[in-house]
Structure formats: structure tokens, C-alpha cells
A and B are shown apart, each in its own frame.
Chain A
Amino acid sequence: MFKRKAKAEAKAEERAEEKKGWFQRLKSGLSRSTNTISTGIGDIFTKRKLDATSLEELEDLLITSDLGVGTAARVLKVLSSQRFEKEVDPEEVRRALAGEIRDILAPVAKPLEISPANKPHVILMVGVNGTGKTTTIGKMARQLKDQGKSVMLAAGDTFRAAAIEQLQIWGERVGVPVVAGKVGGDASGLAWDAMDRAMGEGMDVLLIDTAGRLQNRSELMDELAKVIRVIRKKDASAPHDTILVLDATTGQNALNQTEVFGKIAEITGIIMTKLDGSARGGILVACAEKFGIPVHAVGVGEAVEDLHSFDPAAFANALVGLEDIEGAE
């Protein structure tokens, strides 16, 4: 998922030979809704014109992918302005639809960049409960370490039972140090200690975990704002990245999450997890359209190698059920 081509990628490619490539995995995961959508498109457009009825049916298909009513309508408006009332075949519609979605996503596809100027480069992970923050940190730590970077983890989820242990196990697996405090301890105090240690030991990257919190719980959001203030006392430019972890199964509430976490934690990027289920993560298209916050990576499974750079063309193609999903134009 990181910009620099490294050994890890070559390794991952080898692994992909034995296992399944991530595109295959993404695709097999996506196949469910993809099937729905593409069969749907086939049904709609075989021997038919792109008229108002078929557009409405297309809209329905996009809505079932969680694009949301507004985004789906806008995508189709563009589509219909080009092709309305003309003879079209399903393949053509699919390409056009994928093209529209890709165009929305392309500007936000930005890999995470670790700047060597930052010592350490501080990454804060935030999000609601159960989206996969800790697991994502574990995967990121491994990939960064494979790139030859020194990485430290901070177990900032002091609330949930065994969250600290969970991160410590990831630390052991990956072979990176973990700064941990007491259960029920002060998260901002832990962040301070972690900054202290990471700076003292000259780490390249510090990944800070936080407790999951619903964005409408203002006292918990205040606590998060405090964590950030404390980090800034140590390094005014930190956190250099604040990443919102979004669950692909989440519906329209993801927009609220992005808005509120954006406002309070000034998120700089998004990672979407759990794309290996039947959820399409179409809400990412709505988020991209509304907020334009960079999308760094997608999670397609529980294994370390299941965190990948975000490829908007592949994502869009898979969403509408195009076969050659690797063949980004």
C-alpha cells in the first residue's frame, strides 16, 4: 500500500502465485454484488434503449451497492447526458458506469507517504468501534517494516478489554516495539509517552491506535481531540497522518463518520476494511464526492498481505462487474 516499491511487494507477488491474487480475492468477494449488478445490467440493456425506466433500474442497482441516492443519481445524470435514448449494449453501459465511478475516485487515490523528514512520522488511527483499526495497524506495521523502516506501535485503546494485548500480539508477530499503558489509563498520556519513546529511539514511524468511538459521543470525541493536542505538544507537525478506518459494510452513516471525524480529528486519509465480504463499499464513492479525502488502502482479508493500495479503476470495474478488472485503462 505504500508508494515505494519494495521487497515486500515482490514477496507478496510470490505469495499471490500460491494463494489468490488480491484482485481475485477482491473480485471473488465482490462477485456477489457484482453478479447482481452485472446480471441486472444485462437484464436491463439486452435489446433495449437507455431510457428513463432503465436508468431508474440502474439507479436501483447503484443504490444496492451503498452509493447512496444522491451519488447514484449524479453518476447516472452524467451517464444519461451522454447516452440517453441511444442504442447501447450492456458492456458499453458497464464501461461507462465504471468510468464515471473511476473518475470520482481517481483524485482521492493517494498512497500513504512516509516522509523521512519526520522523526518519527506519526500516524494516528481513528474510527468507530469494530472497523478494524488494530488489525490494520498490524498489517501496516509489517509492510513498513518490510520496507526497512523502524516502526513503533502505541496501544492507545485503553478502554476496550484486551485491546492492548491485541496490539501487543501484533507487535510480537511483526517484531516491532509496542508502547502500552494500563487498562483504563489516560489515552493522551499514553500518546505522550509513545511520542517520547519514539523520538528518543529515533523511530521512522509511530503508529498510534485509539479506542473505537461513535462520532455522536461528544465526550469521546473531545478525548480524541485531546490526544491530538498532546501529540502536537511533542511535535507541532504531528500527527502527520490521521487515518479514518471505515468498514465497507457501513451504510450512509459513513458520511457522518467522515464529516465528524474530519472536523474533530482533521483526518487526512481513509482506509476501507472488510471488502472481502459481499458489501461493495459504494459509500466510498459518496465520501470521495463529498469530502475528497484521500483513500490510502483497502483491506480484503485478515492476513497481513490483505492490505492493498487503493486502485480506483479496479475498484470501479469490480463494482459494476467488468471482467478485466485489472485492465485499468
Chain B
Amino acid sequence: MFESLSDRLSGVFDKLTRRGALSEADVDAALKEVRLALLEADVALGVVKDFVADMRKRAIGHEVLKSVTPGQQVVKIVGDALTEMLGGESELLSIVGAPPAAVLLVGLQGSGKTTTAAKIAKRLTERENKRCLMASLDIRRPAAQEQLRVLGEQAGIPTLPIVAGETPVAIANRAMAAARLQGADIVFLDTAGRMHVDAGMMAEVVAVRDAVQPVETLLVADSLTGQDAVNVAREFDRQLGITGVVLTRMDGDGRGGAALSMRAVTGKPIKLIGTGEKLDALEDFHPARISSRILGMGDVVSLVEKAAETIEQEDAEKMAKKMARGEFDLDDLRTQLKQMKKMGGMKGLMSMLPGMGKIQKQVAEANLSEDMFKHQDAIISSMTPGERKNARILNASRKKRVAAGSGTSVQEINKLLKMHQQMAKMMKRVSKMGARGMMPGPDSMPPGFENFMPRR
């Protein structure tokens, strides 16, 4: 999600890491790039200036100049500063007090409030066994209330029956009364999209807030937002008093500077991020992970968590045993590829791996997405069990047969075999060295993948 920012910063720090000592001029050059990168990432100008000034203070001086590897030191300073700015620790929703507790969702038009309401309700129902009720106070946009009702049906969350002609405050009061009767724990109040400069509409939502006294007032904001993010966040917070931010469309290729801006001007935590159109595409916001991803240091923690979710435990154990013995045949390769696909394909995976910012672009350009997996799967499927166990027996005539059977070419088979060989080699190395040897350097790719990159 922050590819471009991490691209640029890793370019800056590549230069820095290659230098022995760090002069003030070096820091200035780096900071110029940092400023530009942050601005291109839509971080608000004022926030960028503060950040850069802070960085300069931290970077120039003996702390850096005396350190052994100044480049790494600067990377760490930038990373720490970004993490700090994003809020340090991740903060979760706090639903406290006597039920029913009201959660109010507010924001501009089209920021994703309704979908987010359903996502959070689904999550709290499933993970924390909360009884949720949802109500739409959007009496403006056609079919907005219907939208929430349908989402409620899909997510299995009850919604307040729609009564035409009610005011938002009346709907909110009815929702709270209904929740008390039904014994619901949390009431999600989805409001109409509104501009923070629209005094009438802002007064309306303030009236709703006063009526229900929400425990959480969440600003739902589009992560693709530009410089205006500061105005939106500041005004919603000033007029309404938000308790946190939910950033949507983090699965887009926006650089996400809005996250930094909103946090910086309101001081309110970003609590959750929306990462897709499906109702379970909602994740906790982890400042440290995001900032290390920004810096191209990779999001290894997320990767591991995602892997744990998708990879079947048994498969993983089997694989671990085989790897320990230094065995890795084509069937194993196929299992690996399938798991990669489950984990969001090549692009999703690479965005989480360290040092992958740059190749990600190449991957996107080479259009390596799902087709590649399909072809490789077809190739392996066209082999005999014997060939899969022992790839060395694949001679020219066998390769021709496999190519015909899978609708591919001998070249593609060779590429796959080469990738397999390299991965097998790596597996052996890993089993000898333990997992520490696995982290590729900043410019390397997972072994074998370079065969699929366009030639430079």
C-alpha cells in the first residue's frame, strides 16, 4: 500500500548506506528526498515540515556521525519518527460502560462508512461475542438505509427496521431503545456522508452525538485523501470530538499519507484499516509495521500472521520435516505456490517482504499475477509422479510432452525447473542455518524469481 513511498525512501537510503560517514550535506540531501517522498505520498505539508525538522534535529550531530553505520542509523531514526507519528502502539476500540454502547461513524461522502459499520459489527460479533445492532441515519442518499440492511443480512447482524420520514436523532433514539429491549451490547450508528464545511449537516450529527453519547465516534476516511485530510480530520474532531480514525481503501495503491496527516493534526489514533470490499477485510492498525513497510524494511510480522492463517498446520509440519531433510520436490513447490496465491499472490506477498519495494514495480509491469501461478500449476500437473519426485529425469522429450500437456512451452518449463532448483538450494541452506539466513538483502529477490522478471 505504501509502495511508492518505500521505493523512494529506499532509493535515498541506498545512497546513504553506501557511505562511511554522514555529513550534514548528506543528511540535507536525504531529507530533501524524504520531504518530496512524503509530499508525493499526500502527507500534509505542515506535517511534512514538522517531521523533516524533527528528523534534522535527530539526524545531524554526533549521534549519527559517530555511529558505525550512519545510513542504518538514519533509516532507524526515520522509522522511529514515522512510527511515533503514527501513534506508537496500536490502539483498539474501547467499548466500555453499561450496554448498549453507541458507536457513531462519521465522515465525508463516499468514504466507506456503511461498509465499515458492517465490518466492525461482524468482527465484534465473531471475535468478542458481542450482540450488535446497526442503524442507518442516512436519510439523504437514496437507498443508503437499504444498503446497511443488506449488509446486515450478509454479515448476520440485525439492523433497525427502516421507518420512512424519521429524523436522524429520532432514528438514533429508536435504535438505542431497541437495543435496550433486545439486550444488544453495541449499537452502530451509520450517518450520512457530510462535508465538514456544511454547518447544517455538522449540527445534525452533533445533535445525534448529544442524544446517544457514543463511546466511540469514529471518523471513517479514505486513505487516498490528499492534502485536505488535515482539514477533514481537524474539523470533524473540533466540531464533534472524534475518538479515532478508520482508514479505508488501504488495499489501493495510494501512498497513504493521510494516515500520517490525520494522526498528526488530531492526535487521535488510527484504530482500524479497511483492506478490501469483503466484510472481513478489516485489520488492526499497527503503526510500527506500517512505518517499517514505508521504509522498505518489510512487514514481516504481518506476513507471518497471514501465513499462519492461510497455511494449513499439517502441511506446514510436513514441509518443515522435508525441509529439515533437505528434500524439496516439485509437489512441494506446487504446495508453496498455492499457499502464496492464498496469501494474496505475488504482489501481496512482496509488499510485505523486506527490500521488495523496487521489484514490486517490476512484478506489476511483468503482469506476473495469477496467470503465472496457473501456468506453473498446469506444468506440474502434466508431469508424472516420478518426474515430480525427481525433476532430474526430465529430459528434452519429456519436457516436450509436459509442454504440450500443459499448453506451455519448454522455456517456461525450464524457468520453473530453475526456480525449483534455486528454492531447493535455499531450503537446504535454511535447514542448515536456521531461519535467520532467510532474509534477503535489500536488493535481492526470493531465489528463482528473477527468471520471471523482464530482462533489463
Partner of B45, one of A63, A249, A253: A63
Asked if A251 lies at the interface with its beta carbon under 8 angstroms from chain B, I say: yes
Stretch at the interface among A91-99, A140-148, A159-167: A159-167
Chain A residues in 8 Å Cβ range of B423 = none
Q: A69-B39, A218-B369 are in contact. Are A253 and B277 (CB under 8 A)?
A: no
Chain A residues in 8 Å Cβ range of B141 = 135, 166, 302
Name the interface residues of B119-176: CB closer than 8 Å to any CB of A: 140-144, 146-151, 154
Asked if A128 lies at the interface with its beta carbon under 8 angstroms from chain B, I say: yes
Asked if B258 lies at the interface with its beta carbon under 8 angstroms from chain A, I say: yes
Whether A162 contacts B143 by the Cβ 8 Å rule is yes
Q: A159-B277, A250-B226 are in contact. Are A63 and B147 (CB under 8 A)?
A: no
A108 to B312, alpha carbons, bound, how many Å? 54
Whether B42 contacts A160 by the Cβ 8 Å rule is no
Interface range for A: 35 or more
Which B residue sits closest to A214, measured CB to CB?
B252
Name the interface residues of A10-37: CB closer than 8 Å to any CB of B: 28-29, 32-33
Which B residue sits closest to A170, measured CB to CB?
B142
Whether B109 contacts A274 by the Cβ 8 Å rule is yes
Whether A161 contacts B110 by the Cβ 8 Å rule is no
Whether A251 contacts B257 by the Cβ 8 Å rule is yes
Whether A277 contacts B195 by the Cβ 8 Å rule is yes
Q: A32-B197, A60-B45, A165-B146 are in contact. Are A277 and B228 (CB under 8 A)?
A: yes
Asked if B266 lies at the interface with its beta carbon under 8 angstroms from chain A, I say: no
Whether B108 contacts A251 by the Cβ 8 Å rule is no
Name the interface residues of A261-291: CB closer than 8 Å to any CB of B: 274, 276-280, 283
Partner of A129, one of B196, B253, B254, B277: B277
Whether A165 contacts B143 by the Cβ 8 Å rule is yes
Asked if B232 lies at the interface with its beta carbon under 8 angstroms from chain A, I say: yes
Whether B196 contacts A278 by the Cβ 8 Å rule is yes
Q: A162-B146, A162-B147, A276-B195 are in contact. Are A253 and B231 (CB under 8 A)?
A: no
Chain B residues in 8 Å Cβ range of A159 = 277
Partner of A130, one of B41, B44, B111, B146: B111
Asked if B339 lies at the interface with its beta carbon under 8 angstroms from chain A, I say: no
Asked if B224 lies at the interface with its beta carbon under 8 angstroms from chain A, I say: yes
Asked if A237 lies at the interface with its beta carbon under 8 angstroms from chain B, I say: no
Asked if B77 lies at the interface with its beta carbon under 8 angstroms from chain A, I say: no
Q: Looking at B41, B232, B253, B367, which has the most chain A CB atoms within 10 Å of its CB?
A: B253
Interface range for B: 35 or more
Whether B147 contacts A160 by the Cβ 8 Å rule is yes
Report A55 CB to chain B, min CB distance, Å: 15
A278 to B198, alpha carbons, bound, how many Å? 10
Chain B residues in 8 Å Cβ range of A29 = 195, 197
A39 to B154, alpha carbons, bound, how many Å? 50
Partner of B231, one of A160, A278, A283: A278
Chain B residues in 8 Å Cβ range of A161 = 114, 146-148, 150-151, 154
Partner of B110, one of A132, A251, A278: A132
Asked if B222 lies at the interface with its beta carbon under 8 angstroms from chain A, I say: yes
A235 to B450, alpha carbons, bound, how many Å? 44
Which A residue sits closest to B112, measured CB to CB?
A130
Report A255 CB to chain B, min CB distance, Å: 10
A132 to B195, alpha carbons, bound, how many Å? 14
Chain B residues in 8 Å Cβ range of A129 = 110, 112, 249, 277
Q: Which label, helix, strand, loop or mixed, suits the secondary structure of the B interface?
A: loop
Asked if B408 lies at the interface with its beta carbon under 8 angstroms from chain A, I say: no
Whether B254 contacts A251 by the Cβ 8 Å rule is yes
A65 to B114, alpha carbons, bound, how many Å? 28
A251 to B140, alpha carbons, bound, how many Å? 26
- Residue-wise, chain B 22-54 has the 8 Å CB interface mask toward A (1 for contact) of 000000000000001001111011000000000
Whether A66 contacts B249 by the Cβ 8 Å rule is no
Asked if A328 lies at the interface with its beta carbon under 8 angstroms from chain B, I say: no
Whether A253 contacts B143 by the Cβ 8 Å rule is no
Name the interface residues of A36-72: CB closer than 8 Å to any CB of B: 60, 63-66, 68-69
Whether B45 contacts A252 by the Cβ 8 Å rule is no
Whether B222 contacts A216 by the Cβ 8 Å rule is no
Q: A250-B225, A279-B228 are in contact. Are A216 and B253 (CB under 8 A)?
A: yes
Asked if B72 lies at the interface with its beta carbon under 8 angstroms from chain A, I say: no
Whether B146 contacts A132 by the Cβ 8 Å rule is no
Name the interface residues of B198-228: CB closer than 8 Å to any CB of A: 198, 222, 224-228
Name the interface residues of A200-222: CB closer than 8 Å to any CB of B: 214-219
A277 to B202, alpha carbons, bound, how many Å? 12
Which A residue sits closest to B228, measured CB to CB?
A279
Which B residue sits closest to A133, measured CB to CB?
B110
Name the interface residues of A167-199: CB closer than 8 Å to any CB of B: 168-170, 173, 183
Whether B224 contacts A253 by the Cβ 8 Å rule is yes
Chain A residues in 8 Å Cβ range of B277 = 129, 159-160
Whether B195 contacts A69 by the Cβ 8 Å rule is no
Partner of A302, one of B45, B114, B140, B235: B140
6 tightest A-B contacts by CB? A251-B226, A130-B110, A251-B42, A162-B147, A169-B142, A161-B150
Residues of A within 8 A of B (CB): 28-29, 32-33, 60, 63-66, 68-69, 128-132, 135, 138, 159-163, 165-166, 168-170, 173, 183, 214-219, 247, 249-254, 256, 274, 276-280, 283, 302
19 further contact pairs, Cβ within 8 A, besides A216-B253, A251-B42: A60-B45, A64-B44, A64-B227, A66-B227, A128-B252, A131-B110, A161-B147, A165-B142, A166-B143, A166-B144, A214-B249, A215-B253, A216-B251, A219-B370, A249-B229, A251-B254, A274-B110, A279-B228, A283-B226
CB-defined A-B contacts under 8 Å, sample of 21:
A63-B45, A69-B39, A129-B110, A130-B109, A132-B110, A161-B148, A162-B146, A162-B149, A166-B144, A166-B147, A173-B142, A249-B108, A252-B226, A253-B255, A254-B226, A256-B253, A274-B110, A277-B197, A277-B232, A278-B196, A278-B235
